[in-house]
Amino acid sequence: MSRCHQEQIEAREQHQPTAYVPECTDNGEFSPKQCHTAIRQCWCVYTSGREVPGTRRTNSQRLFCQKVYDPSEYEHASDVTYDPSEYQHASDVTYDPSEYQHACDVTYDPSEYQHASDVTYAYLGPV
């Protein structure tokens, strides 16, 4: 039995409706995003189940988590092994562009400008 499933069972045996019960993937790992409905908070966790510092949010805030190995479990980088097939490619990731406020996300109507000298921009994308 996986550590995540064991913690799930122990939490449910407490028979307390406000107890935190970890969420597990089908293969028994901790789900990257954990939520505690009683306190209305979610956070990201390492594969070990340990909370990733600085990720705790209220349920109303969007939180995107991904599988991250716990650095405290490894003494040397050479100890880390992973299966690249477990990771999504950038093209698989979806997001809401309205959440980002960077200059490159700004759109404008070119008809608002009468002369090319009125427009200053930099194209940083692929050619």
3-state helix, strand, coil in the chain (%, to 5): 30, 10, 60
- Triad 18, 40, 98: Cα angle to 5°: 160
**Which CATH superfamily hosts domain 3-91?**
Thyroglobulin type-1 (4.10.800.10)
Q: Considering the entire predicted model, what is its pTM?
A: 0.56
**pLDDT reading at 27 higher than 80:** yes
Domain ranges of the chain: 3-91
Q: Report pLDDT digits (tens) over 38-65.
A: 999 999 999 999 999 999 999 778 899 9
Q: Please, which residues have CB within 8 angstroms of residue 48's CB and are 6 or more apart in sequence?
A: 30, 70, 72, 73
